[in-house]
Amino acid sequence: MMGRSIRIMLPIFLLLLVENGRGVKSASNYLIGLGSYDITGPAADVNMMGYANMDQTASGIHFRLRARAFVVAEPQGKRIVFVNLDACMASQLVTIKVLERLKARYGDLYTENNVAISGIHTHAGPGGYLQYVVYLVTSLGFVRQSFDALVDGIEQSIIQAHDNLRTGSIYVNKGELLDAGVNRSPSAYLNNPAAERSKYKYDVDKDMTLLKFVDDEWGPVGSFNWFATHGTSMSRTNSLISGDNKGASARFMEDWFEQTNGGSISTDVSKINKIPRRISSIIPLAKDTHHELLELAASFDSSSGKSTIKFTSLAKRVRSALRQTEMPAFVSAFCQTNCGDVSPNVLGAFCLDTGLPCDFNHSTCGGKNELCYGRGPGYPDEFESTRIIGERQFRKAVELFNAASEQLNGKIDYRHTFVDFSKLDVTIPKEGGGTNVVKTCPAAMGFAFAAGTTDGPGAFDFKQGDDSGNAFWRLVRNVLKTPGKEQNDCQHPKPILLDTGEMKQPYDWAPSILPVQILRIGQLVILSVPGEFTTMAGRRLRDAVKTVLTSGDTKEFGSNVHVVIAGLTNTYSQYVTTFEEYQIQRYEGASTLYGPHTLSGYIQEFKKLAAALISGQSVESGPQPPDLLNKQISLLTPVVMDATPLGVNFGDVSLDVPKNSTFKRGDNVTVVFWSACPRNDLMTEGTFALVEILKGKDSWRPAYDDDDFCLRFIWSRPAKLSTRSHATIQWIIPQTAASGVYRIRHFGAAKSLLGSIKHFTGASSGFVVA
């Protein structure tokens, strides 16, 4: 597959080099391809990943989650893949299975060495897709549907990016975004040396680094950027699936690109005629949609050969399918970096009872952590906070995108190794000269972990020996281990709550073998880290790598090298603080698994990778992490069956809009349908909710779907074990909505007692937007 695309691309590449020789145009030095695919997963019953709150289970969708990927290759040279997930974090097991699929499809083209899979850290996506016990407690163990949605979606996004490879250029730009993150553990940050702190203006990193991908023929095709702020604009009680602030930014930027490009597309009539079949598979069961688009296509003048379709009031999936007749959709990803101590709740943390700021050193209210909450800029509306923090990142990214002028030039390269962090010898400088050898420790979580953070107090609402907790907890808690003296000393001053690194029953509770990876595109270097580095920890790592890269004899890198950290990448191992922050043992220090020298271990190993990169040497692949798929325990009960009351069908409206009603922009239109469990069909690349606009006498065209920020799909059961359920669809009419007659539709799938799945749909009455 690759061979063919290179044969096609090579003549174009050479031509551009010749042109460049005459000073006509700068060389397009890479092959670039982008892709994007739905990874939303199960929108009901599954615990959400991030807050470790047992009560936070999914029950609907605010907007869908995606995997967004880029592939960059040197023509006939090396290549790298970077995938950004609207998920809380990467998972070792997901990475292992994606790599197996890539191997089956492409041989040795994509391996653990040159593929990075990174999570944005939304706390509003379905959990249960990690392989170590401690990350599966609140989700009642492993959740196959969450896992499959990720593995499938990542694979699809990479296939698209691979198939889209064409000659193009990449530009890098960097700028400050001041109001999208604050330090949520400033008392720990303050324990870093004063001399070090004085080098920085802020106690969090404010830089956004952006890549702009430009296709030689088509122009801009996408952008990826890295900026540090937690995905905790949505709270620990939210139950709608959401990409949180970064997922929102990505939506806003992809929409922005479409709009600034005229909101229309010119395409061959013959290509339009091919669309409708695809649309009907994109929006499930939308037979009238299929019909409508056939009409739409037929209505264009075929004599000129080209037609222009304007995108007014067309749902995102339809627009995207239309655009893809000509070129791939624009892909914009907002990636996570050293967000460990960075909160998007920028107004500060306050006590729910008194309204006063929480205790500075402990984030408590009257000595208790449960009442201390960070406030986002939309307080008390978490959707509004998500929108605002999303919009701030989106606007900065657009500014950097429009002004990007520094072109990436030079080699594509990479290094990857696995390191056993449970017993790593780390050589650190000794005070007064010389060096010391210290050790990392088996993973352990401190007591402050249970207290949570100001973004979500009281993570894991159960304790050692506690009789409460869910079925999975009751199953695994008997193996809780009391740490020995050696472990206590090694982890000092961390008071150990869960000695996860020494708990192996029924299978490993925490990772010990971690991947570290460097990806290089010319003068840009990406450091893939399997955790959440705090601000200062990230700065130390970047500086150490930069020093190695710019100081070698070989002048591989000039003084101009951009180093970004890709956080939560390839696997997950919680937090990494500095040695000094670790001493304070706030949540981030308590969650730094391998003891006080964890960061020094990373710096040591990354320096080795950087040195190998500039000297052209290879590195050992290291010990392989385990594949625990066959050991996974799943206690989440499947859907038994769905039912409706006598005389009612699935999809029937149970609460309609008032007859002949008229709404204004900004109004809230709410319709309730009889529904069935969304786990029966995830509607991947489809939609549960759809707003349609009337065109002509009786033909409806899709206008807004699950991907739109203005539309919410809320699913509920009247009681826990009930077979009946409702879908409440809320549409806040956007200011940009066209005037006209609308209706709201719901798509779903119901399970019969014998297990067969039957799709259904329903529609509200029409209403006017004026």
Ligand X SMILES: *[C@@H]1O[C@H](CO)[C@@H](O)[C@H](O)[C@H]1NC(C)=O
- Between β-strands 435-439 and 425-429, what pairing exists: parallel, antiparallel or unpaired? antiparallel
Peptide bond into 638 cis (omega under 30): no
| Single-letter amino acid code for the residue at 80 | I
Is residue 668 involved in binding ligand X (CB under 6 A)? yes
Please answer whether residues 679 and 45 qualify as being in contact, where contact means their C-beta atoms are separated by less than 8 angstroms: yes
Q: What are the tokens at 193?
A: 């040396």
Collect all residues with Cβ–Cβ distance below 8 Å to 74 and sequence separation of at least 6: 29, 30, 31, 411, 412
Please answer whether residues 443 and 594 qualify as being in contact, where contact means their C-beta atoms are separated by less than 8 angstroms: yes
Q: Which contacts qualify for 254-257: CB closer than 8 Å, 24 or more apart?
A: 254/329, 254/330, 254/331, 254/332, 255/316, 256/394, 256/398, 257/220, 257/330, 257/332
Q: Which contacts qualify for 582-586: CB closer than 8 Å, 24 or more apart?
A: 582/493, 582/494, 583/191, 583/493, 584/185, 584/187, 584/188, 584/191, 585/446, 585/447, 585/448, 585/493, 585/494, 585/495, 586/185, 586/187, 586/188, 586/363, 586/448
Does the annotation list 230 as a binding residue? yes
Closer CB to ligand X, 302 or 765, in the complex: 765
Query: Is 343 among the catalytic positions?
Result: yes
How many angstroms separate the CA atoms of 48 and 125, rounded?
Answer: 5
Peptide bond into 493 cis (omega under 30): yes
Taking each helix axis as running N to C, give the angle between helix 275-282 and helix 287-298, from 0 to 180 degrees, rounded to the nearest 10: 160
Please choose, from the candidates 566, 337, 598, 341, the residue with its C-alpha nearest in 3D space to the C-alpha of residue 445.
598
Collect all residues with Cβ–Cβ distance below 8 Å to 175 and sequence separation of at least 6: 207, 208, 396, 399, 400
Shortest CB 379 distance to ligand X, Å: 15
Does the annotation list 121 as a binding residue? yes
Closer CB to ligand X, 305 or 658, in the complex: 658
Query: Which of 59, 233, 313, 343 is labelled catalytic?
Result: 343
Shortest CB 416 distance to ligand X, Å: 41
Shortest CB 239 distance to ligand X, Å: 13
> What share of residues in the chain are helix, strand, coil (percent, to 5)?
25, 30, 45
Is residue 732 involved in binding ligand X (CB under 6 A)? yes
Closer CB to ligand X, 62 or 415, in the complex: 62
Q: What are the tokens at 8?
A: 């096609």
Shortest CB 731 distance to ligand X, Å: 9
- Residue 368 is classified by DSSP as B
At 655 the three-state DSSP class reads strand
Shortest CB 734 distance to ligand X, Å: 12
Shortest CB 621 distance to ligand X, Å: 45
At 367 the three-state DSSP class reads coil
Please choose, from the candidates 453, 458, 457, 455, the residue with its C-alpha nearest in 3D space to the C-alpha of residue 375.
455
Closer CB to ligand X, 365 or 503, in the complex: 365
Interface map 173-192 toward ligand X (x if CB under 6 A): --------------x-----
Beta bridge partners of 742: 693, 767
- N-term to C-term CA, the chain: 52
Closer CB to ligand X, 312 or 361, in the complex: 361
Shortest CB 585 distance to ligand X, Å: 13
Q: What are the tokens at 60?
A: 């609907």
User: Which position among 488, 604, 670, 765 is part of the footprint of ligand X (CB under 6 A)?
Assistant: 670
Shortest CB 87 distance to ligand X, Å: 25
Is residue 312 involved in binding ligand X (CB under 6 A)? no
Closer CB to ligand X, 199 or 659, in the complex: 659
Query: How many Cβ atoms sit within 10 Å of the Cβ of residue 452?
Result: 22
How many angstroms separate the CA atoms of 490 and 441, rounded?
Answer: 6
Shortest CB 485 distance to ligand X, Å: 28
Q: Which class for 451: exposed (0-12), middle (13-18), buried (19 or more C-beta within 10 A)?
A: buried
Closer CB to ligand X, 93 or 711, in the complex: 711
Query: How many Cβ atoms sit within 10 Å of the Cβ of residue 361?
Result: 13
Interface map 101-120 toward ligand X (x if CB under 6 A): --------------------
Count of residues engaged in binding ligand X, rule: CB under 6 A: 9
Shortest CB 733 distance to ligand X, Å: 11
Is residue 468 involved in binding ligand X (CB under 6 A)? no
Shortest CB 185 distance to ligand X, Å: 12
Please answer whether residues 109 and 71 qualify as being in contact, where contact means their C-beta atoms are separated by less than 8 angstroms: no
CA atoms within 13 A on the CB side of 129: 32
Closer CB to ligand X, 554 or 660, in the complex: 660
At 548 the three-state DSSP class reads helix
Is residue 768 involved in binding ligand X (CB under 6 A)? no
Closer CB to ligand X, 374 or 531, in the complex: 374
How many angstroms separate the CA atoms of 314 and 295, rounded?
Answer: 15
Does the annotation list 532 as a binding residue? yes
Q: How far is CA 103 from the centre of its chain?
A: 24
How many angstroms separate the CA atoms of 542 and 560, rounded?
Answer: 14
User: Which position among 270, 354, 361, 615 is part of the footprint of ligand X (CB under 6 A)?
Assistant: 361
Q: Which of residues 25-64 bind ligand X (CB under 6 A)?
A: none
How many angstroms separate the CA atoms of 484 and 496, rounded?
Answer: 10
Shortest CB 258 distance to ligand X, Å: 25
User: Which position among 360, 479, 617, 631 is part of the footprint of ligand X (CB under 6 A)?
Assistant: 360
Is residue 697 involved in binding ligand X (CB under 6 A)? no
How many angstroms separate the CA atoms of 67 and 716, rounded?
Answer: 27
Please choose, from the candidates 117, 109, 71, 113, the residue with its C-alpha nearest in 3D space to the C-alpha of residue 93.
117
User: Which position among 198, 478, 630, 660 is part of the footprint of ligand X (CB under 6 A)?
Assistant: 660
Burial per residue of 190-209, b for 16 or more beta-carbon CB atoms within 10 angstroms, e otherwise: bbbeeeeeeeeeebbbbebb
Is residue 659 involved in binding ligand X (CB under 6 A)? yes
User: Which position among 111, 730, 761, 765 is part of the footprint of ligand X (CB under 6 A)?
Assistant: 730
Residue stretches of the annotated binding site? 121, 230, 532, 575
Residue stretches of the annotated binding site for Zn(2+)? 121, 230, 532, 575
Question: Which stretches of the chain bind ligand X, using CB under 6 A?
Answer: 187, 360-361, 659-660, 668, 670, 730, 732
Which residues are catalytic, by number? 343
